[in-house]
A and B are shown apart, each in its own frame.
Chain A
């Protein structure tokens, strides 16, 4: 009787990130036939109103940002165990650090032009965040 684990209409697949407050799963939206990332607040933190407030506010803030360089929030939901979760765009090309490491292994070194391309994208992302009157915490 144990089918695949689901959260709302999303079918959970691998865990792709774990933090102290939340876990990120890759998940499939069968209705729209798309892969998404599901960020789920940890069960033990889900009954803490202050942590919930921060988590939900993060989703609402992120929703106000519109940029190709910032991950998009598609939706917000809640599990049957009262865990809020964010449905996010799935960025499937790994982290920048992983990519740089992989390229270096192949003998690549960054040229000033490479660095500029990346820096410009990061700056555009930060600009979009600031336009939404938000400050990135890190």
Chain B
């Protein structure tokens, strides 16, 4: 799946270079439609099945001849969550129709289905928004790989879950360390600093702080051992490391131009 960065807008995608040939596409579409009717037709009464089939067919034809206004008019009357309509749009989008992709994205967005999937695994409102945006981009970029053998919502759910994982990984990568030594260390690591500038900043520290910070952050010794080596108390060493880091962070910030 080609997932491009979150900087793109949902509809800002390129046509897929690997779309199926027209004949294969037609067969896949018919099989897919039949599958939809087989699985979902049961909830309609006798007369409604025929009407539903007609409407789906009309929609399919409108999309095929790139008639956006007729397709939109047909879609206006059916609920955004209607699975059969989503399935049909997905199949036509997978077959290479840009209009179907656009309509699919619109309907997925309107239906709130992405939001419902994202809310299942996320609590933060901003995170849910981000994941929905990322998911729409992924869906638009990868629709060419939708096979039609599963329900489109199942396929979409898998994509949302992948974007949830991406989001959580990104968040965790920038989240503070779990132990007692977060804060300044986190700020230091978040700055784009080369090893050389860190060393220069360390070298500029007063001896009192340079020794414990070097032993802790460069040599990775536990606090207890540093305390023993420097013949200082554990509490003293911890606070000296903390302050030393803060000074290094401040020095790095100055180097970086005071951001």
Contacts and interface: CB of A to CB of B under 8 A. Distances in A.
B239 interface: yes
Interface in A13-52: 43, 46-50, 52
Contact of A1 (B121, B122, B239): B239
B238 interface: yes
A82 interface: yes
Contacts of B175: 80-82
Given A49-B164, A80-B175, A82-B171, A1 B180 contact: yes
Contacts of B176: 80
Contacts of B171: 82
B183 to A, nearest CB: 7
A contact face: mostly helix, strand, loop, or mixed: mixed
A56 B164 CA distance: 14
A82 B172 contact: yes
B123 A47 contact: no
A78 B238 contact: no
Given A1-B183, A1-B238, A82-B175, A50 B123 contact: no
Nearest to A48: B165
Interface string B160-171: 010011001101
Interface string A46-64: 1111101100110000000
A80 B173 CA distance: 11
Nearest to A76: B123
Nearest to B161: A49
B121 A81 contact: no
A81 B182 CA distance: 12
Most central of B121, B183, B239 by chain A CB within 10 Å: B121
A30 B180 CA distance: 21
A2 B161 contact: no
A56 B242 contact: no
Contacts of A80: 175-176
B120 interface: yes
Contacts of B180: 1-2
A45 to B, nearest CB: 11
Contact of A47 (B120, B172, B178): B172
Interface in B145-188: 161, 164-165, 168-169, 171-172, 175-176, 178, 180-181, 183
Contacts of B172: 47, 81-82
Contacts of B181: 1
Contact of B124 (A2, A43, A57, A78): A78
B226 to A, nearest CB: 15
A113 to B, nearest CB: 45
A25 to B, nearest CB: 14
Interface of A: 1-2, 43, 46-50, 52-53, 56-57, 76-78, 80-82, 84
Interface of B: 120-124, 161, 164-165, 168-169, 171-172, 175-176, 178, 180-181, 183, 238-239, 242
13 contacts: A1-B183, A49-B120, A49-B121, A49-B161, A49-B165, A56-B120, A56-B123, A76-B123, A78-B123, A78-B124, A81-B175, A82-B172, A84-B123
